[in-house]
C-alpha cells in the first residue's frame, strides 16, 4: 500500500509504520495536509497533523489547509491547524484572501470570528 492511499483512508497504523520505515515521507508529501483538506477528508487531516506533517503546505491554486477548513466551517480542524502552527494571516493569490475571508465568504461566522480573534 502506498502512503497516499493509507492517508486517504486515514489508516493511521499503516501511516505510522510507513513513516517509521521512511521518515522522509513527510518531506516528500509537503502538501498532503492541504490536499486532504481540499478533499474535506478531515479524519486524514487530523492524523497527518498529529504525525507532524506540514500544516502550511500550499495547493496548486495557492490555498492552504486552513483556507479549506475555514471555508467548510470545520472549527475543530481550524483550531487544530492553528495549534500546530498554521499561518492564519497567509493570503491565497486568486482572491488575496486570508482564511478568515474564506470563512466569511462561505458564511461560516463562528470560524471567521475565531480566526479574526487571533489577530
Per-residue pLDDT of 57-78, as tens digits, reads 999 899 999 999 999 999 999 9
Per-residue pLDDT of 75-111, as tens digits, reads 999 999 999 999 999 999 999 999 999 999 999 999 9
What is the dotted CATH code of the domain comprising 30-117? Answer: 1.25.40.20
When pLDDT is averaged across residues 13-40 and rounded to a whole number, the result is 94
Per domain, the residue ranges of the chain are 30-117
- Asked if residue 110 lies in contact with residue 77, where contact means CB atoms within 8 angstroms, the answer is no
Q: Which single residue is written with the C-alpha cell 465568504?
A: 105
What is the distance between the alpha carbons of residues 56 and 39, in angstroms, rounded to a whole number? 16
Which pLDDT score, from 0 to 100, does residue 10 have?
87
What is the percentage of the chain residues whose pLDDT exceeds 90?
A: 94
- The whole-model pTM stands at 0.93
> Is residue 119 over pLDDT 80?
no
Amino acid at each position: 500500500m502506498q502512503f497516499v492511499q493509507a492517508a486517504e483512508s486515514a489508516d493511521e497504523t499503516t501511516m505510522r509504520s510507513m513513516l517509521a520505515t521512511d521518515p522522509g515521507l513527510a518531506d516528500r508529501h509537503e502538501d498532503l495536509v492541504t490536499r486532504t483538506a481540499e478533499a474535506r477528508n478531515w479524519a486524514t487531516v487530523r492524523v497527518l497533523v498529529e504525525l507532524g506533517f506540514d500544516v502550511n503546505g500550499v495547493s496548486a491554486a495557492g490555498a492552504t489547509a486552513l483556507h479549506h477548513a475555514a471555508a467548510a466551517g470545520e472549527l475543530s480542524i481550524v483550531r487544530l491547524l492553528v495549534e500546530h502552527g498554521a499561518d492564519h494571516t497567509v493570503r491565497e493569490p486568486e482572491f488575496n484572501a486570508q482564511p478568515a475571508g474564506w470563512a466569511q465568504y462561505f458564511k461560516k461566522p463562528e470560524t471567521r470570528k475565531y480566526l479574526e480573534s487571533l489577530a
